[in-house]
Structure 1
Amino acid sequence: MEKYSQFRDRGTAIAPFFPVTSPPSGLLWMPVHLFLFAVRVPALLCFSIFYFTILRWLPVGSFAKKAVLWCMIGIPGIWWIDLQIDRVKRGSLNSKAALARLPSAGTIIASSLTSPLDALYLAAIFDPIFTASYPGTRLVQRISLFRAMQLALLPPQLVPQRSSVDKLVPLSEILARYPDASVVVMPECTTTNGRGILPFSPSLLSTPPNTKIFPVNLRYTPGDITTPVPQEYLRWLWRLCSKPTHCIRVRVAECVYNNPTLTSPTPASSSTSRSTGLDAAAKNSHETNFLDTTDIGDGSDTLIGSDDVEDGLTPDERRVLDRVAEDLARLGRVKRVGLGVREKIEFMKVWGSRRR
């Protein structure tokens, strides 16, 4: 495992890109797993094809679409969803105070990214607009629900495809174009196994100053349905559909603003995780072996290397990103790490050579 040591955060010893494995259930349970897989997969495929090819294009209300999405969530055995909101007592989620602390139209959802189920759950609850972020730009690309789920199973990208560069826009433009919907941003830009929060893209900084940003963390039990290793479609489908039940733990933090006068300081309780993880990881000797800086287009929002972006942030902008990242780490009961998209790309090269 020495060749994978560079993909373990130096300060926290967390390896966010390694797949999560569950203990084998034994041969006695294999017929049960095979039966569940054989029954669930056809049903899940039928609902998915019906939704993505027919229903999403029909002029029907959101209730019908959400009903099909909930069926897609329930078919694999996701029967229990534990939702908790900061400063809202259990059992009072239906109150007006609780609803005011949930994402709504005209707000930003800054979500963790660990599985295709993240986008599916957020669509079933909030019916939002999904976006794709990239490490070196404050602009985002609007994507569909299907594309958002697909990205969780695809290799990470430092920059968008050439054909998509013209589609990059600031979040303020998407909010103005779709005032009746919330907007989902996944600022980590690639999936993890849920055991750490990666450095953020600066895309959240294109949010208008008075717009609420809600950090939302999703965790799964068992954790083997996360997809830190891309392109393992069949393995993920087997882990999802062959087990009797899965649980989702959803945590929503208080809103944050892209405004230093409205955003409170980063909680002191989580500052240790940031100093031990990010500062130590910044000194990794393998940083010089990564991809060269990439530039596309002109202006301040061009795609550049992550180190250059971080140096270009003002203290107030860094404070906003730190607050959202610390909230996600606190909600997930994990720590922030210094490994990002560049390290994930290098990890996939080593992981692929091992499998070959």
Structure 2
Amino acid sequence: MLSPLFSLDQFRAQLAETPGVDAQAETAAAERNGQLTKPPGSLGRLEDLAIWYSSWRGNPRPTISAPQVIIFAGNHGVVAQGVSAFPGEVTAQMVGNFQNGGAAINQLSKLAGARLDVHSLDLDRPTKDFTKDAAMSEEELLAALQTGWNAVDPQADLLVVGEMGIGNTTPAAALACALFGGEAADWTGRGTGVDDAGLAIKTRVVAEGVALHDDHITDGIEALRRLGGREIAAMAGAMVAARMLRIPVILDGFICCAAAACLMKTHPDALDHAVAGHQSAEAAHAALLKELGKPPFLSLDLRLGEGSGAALAIQIVRGAIACHSGMATFAEAGVADG
């Protein structure tokens, strides 16, 4: 079990002290990959993925038996400004749908053989409108991080974190703009499908929020407090908990990657245990993945959120490990290694 979080500074310190790869397992996995019955490099990125996974699990011939998908839900004060095509009440309604097994993520998690957990974070108490004040107090941010921290099953061997939160592409865009620069329009997309007028409102809101808080943002954690949301913070907390437990992470779409960016901008190696499951149709996701240095495995024009693209990518990781751990070596198969 992980120790509880007592302060944001402790969380920052924890982030700086997270474990790295098991170098011995990484070397052994690379050696095994070179002995498998295939031409060198013929499985492309699957080979790198298998070695990466092995290095974090500390096993040169691993299996995947207990993937976990966690959905965090939160509401946002900026929704009152008209940044979404749907009202904030839909967040709670969709949480009910998750709990009843009726959403896309339920089907994709089941298909992947993954446990699905859903956590709501004070849905009746949206974050503050970040164009007027910090979205969260330090205490509120710490509580959200702790929710994510506690949600990770120590027995899991692969983690996907997703979200539900009407309006949350707006704080995600604000975080990306504050952390990586550029204009608000560079990072602001249509989200749930707002029209041109709605997009103009979103862009204005992002620009106003970044302008208000920019001088006070000292790292990714402070950006998260000022511009983020509870579900975004919970995803970040879960990612760090997974790192402490040596559980590899598959990143989902734009909002999940904005949470990841807050960690990377606090400690540059914070995402070494994570890969990008897919590139979504949200306009700025490709640019955000580039900033994170995470090439995606899939690009299917998804823009649902919920962890859906990353849950689908569990199958890619499973395929990589099935080949790496299940294939025979040249010696085992009695095949000449030309």
User: Which TM-score tier does this pair reach, normalised by the shorter chain?
Assistant: under 0.3
TM-score by length of 2: 0.25
TM-score w.r.t. structure 1 length? Answer: 0.24
Structure showing the higher helix proportion among its residues: 2
Higher strand share: 1
